[in-house]
Structure 1
Amino acid sequence: MSETTRVGVIRDINGPIVTIDLPGVRSGEQVKIGELGLFGEVISLRGRQAVVQTYESTDGVRPGEPAVGLGWPLSVELGPGLMGGIFDGVQRPLSKIALESGDYIRRGISVPALDRGREWVFAPNPALEPGAQVGPGTVLGTVQETQTVLHRILVPPHVVGDLVEIAPAGSYDIESTIARVRDQRGTSHRLSLYHRWPVRKPRPYLKRDDGIAPLITGQRVIDTFFPQLKGGKGAVPGPFGAGKTVVQQQIARWSNADIVIYVGCGERGNELVDVLETFPQLDDPYSGRKLMERTLLVANTSNMPVVAREASVYVGVTMAEYYRDMGYDVVMLADSTSRWAEALREVSGRLGQMPVEEGYPAYLASRLAAIYERAGRIETYGAGSGSVTLIGAVSPPGGDFSEPVTSHTKDIIETFWALSKELADARHYPSIDWVTSFSSHVHAAAQWWHQEISPDWEKRRASALTLLARDAELSRIVNLVGPEALSDSQRWELEGASLIKEGVLQQSALDEIDTFCSPAKQFALLDLVIALYQHGESLIKLGVPVAELQRLPLLAKMRRIKSMYSSEQLDQLQAFRHEVEQAMEAIRVEYARQGADRD
């Protein structure tokens, strides 16, 4: 779409907020500001004047310089070539920017998100012929975007009518015409391999469905204790150093989603550099190919313009919705929504809007809700079911979960993985606190676990959480009066909880064997710990001293076994279970014999 010739003038500059005089400008329209051509977005109108938030630094820009209206809202290009890409907060490809301007993004640089020179092999839908009725989401054909992702070329949401022509199989660049559609008014629409979509407008769908399958992340504390359904909304709040970024990277690497979109929103540059350098080297555990073949990254570090940080989340979720409309399960990770909210706070402050809690604008909660509500499992118009799972990291200052961003997020989401500084300091990772975390998806996920893994999953999970709750109670007593005040059965409860924490909940992202744990192995480990605890409980009732049970080498092996056998070595876990049962039975027989001798 070419730029319009509507030219106005800059009247006032206040950091990233610029007031312009531009006849005919519309709210939400994109504009170019100043001689440098800085990109911006109209956020309010005051008669002929418009207030623009710019995505780049306005240093050196002066009143009187020109402002040009582009005629469309902040939009993204959606088509083949997104996968494997690394974009900034307004969907400019960083690899191409680096070629043109070096290591630093030159202000005003304009690089299209999709490569105009690359050709794609298009295979038309054999079910479509000229004269067919098509509408939003109709699959015109396919392009093999990567070896992992088959890109379905869809009729854009605003087009409906009769198919006039469709291109034969062959190679086309993204601007080539691959179909023409005539609507009821006789207007002809030329369709290419890509289209634009405004990022602040959710893409339409046929209907919303309930989630039915859990997002398998390979992390036991998530999948087994606080599961997330595909199409759900989750949050990872935690203070500095608690491991939010590592949790999100583990989800991005190991989750069974079809597409992964990682949005680095205002985080430290060194963390994002680590992501940008690491992800292209990772292998996809499901396809055996490179992970980047089904991943795209949006990078907007804390030293980049604050307004682009606010836009980056919308850019990411719009691309997620696009792949959802193809029938894919997409997981989008936003790191972090606190930095996004800080961008809202800075812009609202410059606009002179009335601040509320901790300086945030009054619309913080509604903006957060609007973002998270774009997640969900839906029925598409033409490609079956698809989903967007949205997981946002939250960085509350000082780990205070009562601050506005965390508290509002907690009211919106369905899964809350609260990170604990105390657990992180104790080197217990992932440092997800089982006391304050929650999931509203447990009963829905249980149906999948019962069908695919074991009908005892929910029962074992409940037993483990009960033990962990008892551990919290008994630990307070120990801290007050010491362990001598506890009975043998209570001390065994503490031992059982310790086995759960160290043998199941702890999981090192750096352990080659244990960095990923399949659902079958997750249940096997949990079942093994609960069985060991129950055997010991029955022995204590027979009079076996808890100290004797604590000396068993089996307990030390139970803590290490997660890293000894991979997800494919379930037979060894089963063999260890037989070993546990034999050892416990030997103790039972011995104490039963001693009891008979005393009688």
Structure 2
Amino acid sequence: MSERVGKIYRIAGPLVVATDIPNPMMYEVVYVGKEGLIGEVIAVRGEKIYIQVYEETTGLTVGEKVEATGRPLSAELGPGLIGSIYDGLQRPEKDIARLLNDIFIRRGVKLPSLDRSRKWYFVKERSVNVGDKVYPGDIIGYVNETPLVKHYIMIPPNVKGELKWIADDGDYAVEDTIAVVSSGQQEFNVKLYHIWPIRIPRPYVEKLNPVEPLVTGIRVIDHVFPIAKGGKAAVPGGFGTGKTVLLQELTKWSHADIAIYVGCGERGNEMSDALTSFLKLMDVRRGRPMMERSVFIANTSNMPVAARETSVFLGITIAEYFRDMGYDVIIVADSTSRWAEAMREISGRMEEMPGEEGFPAYLASRLSEFYERAGKVKALGKPERFGSVTIFGAVSPPGGDFSEPVVRNTVRYVQSFYALDYGLATRRHFPAINWLTSYSMYVDFVKEYWDKVTDGKWSKYRLTMLRILQREAELSDIVRLVGPEALPEEDKLVLEIARIIREGFLQQSALDPVDAYSPPEKGIVMMEAIMEFYKKALEAVSKGVSVSKIREFKSRYMLYQLKFYSIDDLKKLIPQFLETLNQEFGSLVKH
């Protein structure tokens, strides 16, 4: 086959227009200029081929060659992903730093995504034998990638046939053939890794309803606006409302098997902070370093804007790969707004008809391509297994305006919405999730699970707390006009309990070693203590006791301190709290 080479016709920042490439294909990878900058065909208009270049284009000149590869932009999937730090093109940043002895990635640099020299100990699946028929997704062995992740080696999704040969247990590099599959006259060499196009969702047998909650360790999410494994959520908020910290906390503490953090146009210092903290952190459930179950895709704001799109799709492709092994995966993208801004810039340079606020008309469809790849599925192949991908996407609306196009189009494709409120952030209430504008459509899906493990308490307590917070919001206008003392005692009690819920339960410190992660059983104990206090206080107020007296109780102050105790210490403290509560309300009602 002859070389498919064209030449540069025009350069417009990250957009390069080429001509003379025979039979150009949409989304195929091309190498641009003398340095072979990586680009992708995003439009073909007559003889002109529009290329989105994922590296800095300064210095390119008209007439330089453009070489088409005939393949789509793809990810290498195999052992070595866990603990890695990639850029948006899956270039290994740690290896590049060692090679170049530089803190920046020079353009044109190409290194394999997976280390070709490292050996992995492959263990053959005992139920698989030569002569067996194998199908896409069948597990033929595994590699212990880290103490937390058993990396299953699967038949690639596009391969099936008769197993002609399989390697014995031993050390192999990712390029080594570990099995041979025959299909008719063709033979396919199965290696420890395979390649998959990042824009094409990986296949599965069936998508299932998400019925099991993804525990995040954040009380306002777990107990008020829960998300299910396989769910999709948006986290919009203006500058300073705590998006990055919240997303980092979700990645650190969520009960997922694999965590993928995608910095999509993030500032370098924020990515550096996330990496530094992850290198020090231990997985609280398994007592192992957090990096042993994490993958980082570090696309920073000083990198070419076009690569923001590849970082998002690379992240979701890696997530689907581990999902197919039967793992529950969480992927965090911070932030999709910067991806949308990159789309706007490329669209403008292509002279396309702009949509609302200059964003391209296809903004909604691109966002849907990303979010619709979340879900809980039955994976291909044997043995039977189920996995999930849960997506949290940050949105950074200018000025915190939730009516802008990226937020509105994101809301169409997510079922959980965690609205970060600037007013809460200025009052140092974190996480600044506004309980009046946030919502979760997974409540009915996970209700049965939560009620089963809490004897029905979770639903009851959650509804009561939300009613109290809603009533507080209704009373706030009256309080501003006439002051709280003009309210009847029942309404004063609502304000008091709402404050306890806000400050003693919903507010959570990411910097406190105990409060940063709140296990689900701790949240239930705290909810029960607050509801018990509310029940006693309601009874006392109905008998003529003033709320001002109740405010002086020691048991009230104890409620604010519960979050700073570990679950083991809390279990010891609760009997003391209940004893104090009963004594104080008992003596008050007598008098």
The TM-score range, normalised by the shorter chain, is over 0.9
8 Å CA contact 2:521–2:567 kept in 1: the answer is: no
Distance in 1 between residues matched to 2:531 and 2:285, nearest whole Å: 30
Q: Bigger CA drift: 550-559 or 198-207?
A: 550-559
- The answer on whether the counterparts of 1:453 and 1:519 sit within 8 Å (CA) in structure 2 is no
Aligned with 2:80: secondary structure?
coil
Which residue is equivalent to 2:317?
318
Residue 554 of structure 2 contacts residue 580 of structure 2 at CA under 8 Å; is this kept in 1?
no
Decide whether the 8 Å contact of 1:518 with 1:567 is kept in 2.
no
Number of the residue aligned with 2:178? 178
Corresponding residue number in structure 2 for 1:585:
586
Structure 1 320/565 Cα, relative in aligned 2: closer, same or farther at 3 Å? closer
**Gapped runs of 5+ residues in structure 1?**
592-599
* Partner in structure 2 of residue 116 of structure 1: 116
Matched letter for residue 123 of structure 2 = A
**Pairing 1:299–2:263 present:** no
SS at match of 2:95: helix
- Note if contact 2:558-2:577 (Cα within 8 Å) is conserved in structure 1: no
1:371-520 superposed matches below 5 A: 371-382=370-381, 383-520=384-521
Structure 2: distance between partners of 1:412 and 1:46: 31
1:584 deviates by 1.3
Q: Offset at 1:450?
A: 1.3
Closer/same/farther in 2, CA of residues 335 and 362 from structure 1, 3 Å limit: same
Question: 1:23, 1:48 within 8 Å by CA — same for their partners in 2?
Answer: no
Match of 2:15 among 14, 17, 29: 17
Contact 1:4 / 1:69 at 8 angstroms: preserved in 2? no
Q: 2-side partners of 1:403 and 1:435: how far apart?
A: 19
* Counterpart for residue 4 of structure 2: 6
Q: Is the 1:4–1:71 contact (alpha carbons within 8 Å) kept by the matching residues of 2?
A: no
**Aligned residue in 2 for 1:99:** 98
* Residue 4 of structure 1: how far off its partner (Å): 8.3
Q: Cα deviations across residues 206-237 of structure 1 (Å, max 9, x unaligned)?
A: 00001121010111000000000000010111
Equivalent pairs counted in the alignment come to 587
Letter in 2 for 1:71: G
SS in structure 1 at match of 2:266? coil
Structure-1 separation of matches of 2:484 and 2:323: 54
CA RMSD between the two structures: 1.3
Deviations 1:491-534 (A, max 9, x none): 11100100100111011011111111111110111111111012
| Contact 1:280-1:290 within 8 A present in 2 as well | yes
For residue 574 of structure 1, report the CA deviation from its aligned partner.
3.8
User: How does the TM-score come out when normalised to structure 1?
Assistant: 0.96
Task: Give the distance between the partners of 1:120 and 1:4, measured in 2 at CA.
Answer: 38
Residues 265 and 337 of structure 1 are in contact (CA less than 8 Å); yes or no, is this contact kept in structure 2? Answer: yes
Q: Which residue identity is paired with 1:74? A: L
8 Å contact 1:565–1:573 — kept in the other structure? Answer: no
Q: CA 1:291 to 1:109, structure 2 compared with 1: closer, same or farther past 3 Å?
A: same
Q: Secondary structure at the match of 2:329?
A: strand
CA distance in 1, matches of 2:3, 2:83: 35
- Percent identity at matched positions? 47
Structure 2 alignment gaps of length 5 or more: none
CA deviation string 1:525-565 (max 9, x = no partner): 11111110121111011111221111112212211221134
Q: In the TM superposition, what whole-angstrom CA distance separates every residue of 1:242-263 from its partner, at most 9, and x where no partner exists?
A: 0011111111111000000000
Indicate the residue corresponding to 2:127 in structure 1.
127
TM-score by length of 2: 0.97
**What code does the residue aligned with 1:56 have?**
E
SS at match of 2:177: coil
Per-residue CA distance 1:343-376 (angstroms, 9 max, x = gap): 1111111111111111111111111111100000
Local SS of the residue matching 1:242: coil
Distance 1:536 1:267, change over 3 A: same
Change in 2 beyond 3 A, CA 1:48/1:176:
farther
- Structure 1 consecutive aligned stretches of length 4 or more whose deviation exceeds 6 Å: none
Aligned to 1:139: 139
The equivalent of 1:549 in structure 2 is 550
Residue pair 2:419, 2:438 contacting (<8 A) in 1 also: yes
- How far apart are the structure 2 equivalents of 1:309 and 1:230? 26
The answer to whether residue 242 in structure 2 is matched with residue 246 in structure 1 is no
Q: Which residue of 1 aligns with 2:338?
A: 339
Cα distance, 1:47–1:180 mapped onto 2, change above 3 Å: farther
Distance in 2 (alpha carbons) for counterparts of 1:439 and 1:317 = 22
